[in-house]
Amino acid sequence: MEVRRQDIHNSDIPVVCRACEARHGGVCGALTSEQLTELNKHSSRHRLETGSEVIGQGETVVNYSNIMRGVVKLTKVMADGRQQIVGLQFAPDFLGRPFLTESAITAEAATDSEVCNFPRTVLDRLVKKTPELEHMLHQQALKELDEARDWMLTLGRKTAQEKVASFLYLIATHIDPESVDMSAFDLPLSRADIADFLGLTIETVSRQFTKLRKENVIRIENNRHVTVPDMDRLMRYAGND
Amino acid sequence: MEVRRQDIHNSDIPVVCRACEARHGGVCGALTSEQLTELNKHSSRHRLETGSEVIGQGETVVNYSNIMRGVVKLTKVMADGRQQIVGLQFAPDFLGRPFLTESAITAEAATDSEVCNFPRTVLDRLVKKTPELEHMLHQQALKELDEARDWMLTLGRKTAQEKVASFLYLIATHIDPESVDMSAFDLPLSRADIADFLGLTIETVSRQFTKLRKENVIRIENNRHVTVPDMDRLMRYAGND
DNA sequence: CTCGCCATTTGATTTTGATCAAGTGCAACC
DNA sequence: GGTTGCACTTGATCAAAATCAAATGGCGAG
């Protein structure tokens, strides 16, 4: 039942995938070199500029993607325009909703990004034949579910200050999985996006940034670059004791 | 690759499962009669009184469950006691977080309920051997993820009135999957639970109920029984246009 | 029947965050 | 150098929901 990849240095693996896998641990890791070669025939890399849409709410899904670089935001909008970010995805996350053809959310590059696209039909076929691949996708879905539920607590029960601190803590711990030092990073989202993520207005977000800055919980340069002198202190501000 | 159940009337299937499956479409449907028999050796049914805990936040998971009857609430609590319901599960949902031994949430019977428990170790072993079972669990995880994201929009961007209307609409459409008529039902949650679900206080919930009643969107008897004369109208109040 | 216990409702007041309305700072462009 | 545009900040006011504080109402025990 177990389908195991050969040695990662196996020359059967497409060059582009070899370079990719070395850096990331995405779902492709579940595939044999033959399957990778097959998938690679239909896959294509794309650069996404900030703000460009991967898929829109209500549209038909033709592609799944792997995020190679950057941050992708998942949003839901109401009829009157109110908007909520329901997820942030970082490399090497899988992007897409298996087994449904209509997307319930909009996915949009929050920063300059790079993705690897594969046709839905090809991957769906591969999933049916490869239990290990479904397992990877299942794990990712469960991870996203855990994150969504954590965030529900933040949205429903935290104060504006705690929400903003929670956001900063989230970014600090997710933006660069390689790095050990989480105390300095660039925000991948604008104030408007942060507000949409936290269920606040940009004004409230701005005020809370100012407050955290004045209380020396964070330092900010150029509106985007953040330094955290004491991560535990930030965590306490976030309400995660 | 496909592992198909035999005819549902196959006498190899444990009696208790036959009765169960006929009514529900839970994850056990993915198992062969042999596997069902095996699982059944270790499984046990339990009645849960309202308020009794299935698993606590931070505890070690020893059992997974299938909900046979009733409603189970999934909650998260902060150190200072603030609480958020992050999911509601109805029969025949699967209850548990595969592949993790420590629970990140508390699961508690919201109404009198009945569950079928199986040891984590037995099911985990079965999942490894049965791709179809993992597929069912994957589907359920994706469904819960979709629901969680819908709810994030409600928590982050809707008004108190819209939140309460959204809750009523959710219950109307989920409480009795068999029934065609969704216009009358009993609330499975107390005002306090509803508040925890909506990220509000009980007072605000109560006031919104009163308002919806006065505007003839709903009728309420005995604090728990709700009638909805016009479901579309309720949906508009919920902000789902 | 009455008491006491809950859950729920209702009312008065306060607080938090939203809204409305200017400012500020910075980079691109002429 | 000055103008424009944009993202963000700051300030004043407002509104929604939280908080604090009593009622109310149903229900089981005595």
Query: Which has more confidence, A177 or B36?
Result: B36
Residue A117's alpha-carbon distances to A42, A113, A225, in angstroms, are 8, 13, 31
pLDDT digits (tens, 9 = 90+) for A160-209: 999 999 999 999 999 876 778 889 999 999 999 999 999 999 999 999 99
Cis peptide before B92 (omega within 30 of 0): yes
Nearest to A84 among B138, B153, B198 (CB): B153
Amino acid at A228: V
A86 and chain B in contact, CB less than 8 A: yes
Q: Is the CB of A161 under 7 A from strand C?
A: yes
**Local confidence band at B176 (pLDDT 50, 70, 90 cut-offs):** confident
Out of A10-14, A20-24, A146-150, B211-215, which region has the weakest mean confidence (pLDDT)? A20-24
Q: What architecture is domain B15-153?
A: Sandwich (2.60)
CA distance B126 to B156: 39
Which pLDDT belongs to residue B31?
Answer: 85
**Local confidence band at B38 (pLDDT 50, 70, 90 cut-offs):** confident
Taking the mean position of all CA atoms in its chain, how far away is CA A209? 23
Which three-class secondary structure string do you get for chain A?
A: CCCCCCCCCCCCCCHHHHHHHHHCCCHHHHCCHHHHHHHHHHCEEEEECCCCEEECCCCECCEEEEEEECEEEEEEECCCCCEEEEEEEECCCEECCCCCCECCCEEEECCCEEEEEEEHHHHHHHHHHCHHHHHHHHHHHHHHHHHHHHHHHHHHHCCHHHHHHHHHHHHHHHCCCCCCCCCEEECCCCHHHHHHHHCCCHHHHHHHHHHHHHCCCCEEECCCEEECCCHHHHHHHCCCC
Which pLDDT belongs to residue A19?
Answer: 81
Out of B47-61, B171-185, B191-205, which region has the weakest mean confidence (pLDDT)? B171-185
Q: Which nucleotide is nearest to B223 (CA to C1')?
A: C8
Residue pairs between chains A and B whose CB atoms are closer than 8 Å: 122
* Chain A (148-167) residues lying within 8 Å, Cβ to Cβ, of chain B: 148-153, 155-158
pLDDT at B70 over 80: yes
pLDDT digits (tens, 9 = 90+) for B109-156: 999 999 999 999 999 999 999 999 999 999 999 999 999 999 999 999
A48 and chain B in contact, CB less than 8 A: no
Strands A106-109 and A113-119 come out as unpaired
Contact between chains at B199 and A157 (C-beta distance less than 8 A): yes
| Residue at minimum CA to C1' distance from nucleotide D18 | B201
Which pLDDT belongs to residue A4?
Answer: 52
Which pLDDT belongs to residue A24?
Answer: 67
> Percent of chain A having pLDDT more than 90?
78
Which pLDDT belongs to residue B179?
Answer: 78
pLDDT at B11 over 70: no
Residues A70-95 have a mean pLDDT of 95
Q: Which run of H or E residues covers position B15?
A: helix B15-23
- Residue pair B99/B44 in contact (Cβ under 8 Å)? The answer is no
Residues B65-93 have a mean pLDDT of 95
Residues A17-27 have a mean pLDDT of 75
Which pLDDT belongs to residue A20?
Answer: 78
> Percent of chain B having pLDDT more than 70?
93
On the question of a common fold for B15-153 and B158-237, the answer reads: no
- In 3-state terms, what secondary structure has residue B71? strand
For chain B, domain boundaries: 15-153, 158-237
CA distance B223 to B191: 9
Residues A88-94 have a mean pLDDT of 93
Which pLDDT belongs to residue B10?
Answer: 57
pLDDT digits (tens, 9 = 90+) for A117-155: 999 999 999 999 999 999 999 999 999 999 999 999 999
**Local confidence band at B29 (pLDDT 50, 70, 90 cut-offs):** confident
Residues A85-110 have a mean pLDDT of 95
Which pLDDT belongs to residue B22?
Answer: 61
B53 and chain A in contact, CB less than 8 A: no
Q: Which residues in chain B are contacts of A86 at CB distance < 8 A?
A: 149, 152-153
**Local confidence band at A38 (pLDDT 50, 70, 90 cut-offs):** confident
The CATH code belonging to domain A158-237 is: 1.10.10.10
pLDDT at B6 over 60: no
Residues B71-90 have a mean pLDDT of 96
- Residue pair B69/B91 in contact (Cβ under 8 Å)? The answer is yes
Nearest to B84 among A86, A144, A157 (CB): A157
> Who among residues 73-102 of A has its Cβ near strand C, under 7 Å?
none
Which pLDDT belongs to residue B66?
Answer: 94
Residue B188: CB partners within 8 Å, gap ≥ 6? B70, B71, B88, B110, B111, B171, B175
Which tokens go with A23?
Answer: 């850096």
Sign of CA dihedral B137, B49, B221, B180: positive
**Local confidence band at A10 (pLDDT 50, 70, 90 cut-offs):** low
pLDDT at A6 over 60: no
Which pLDDT belongs to residue B178?
Answer: 76
Which pLDDT belongs to residue A23?
Answer: 67
* Structural fold of domain A44-153: Jelly Rolls (2.60.120)
Nucleotides of C under 7 A from a protein CB: 7-12, 16-21, 27
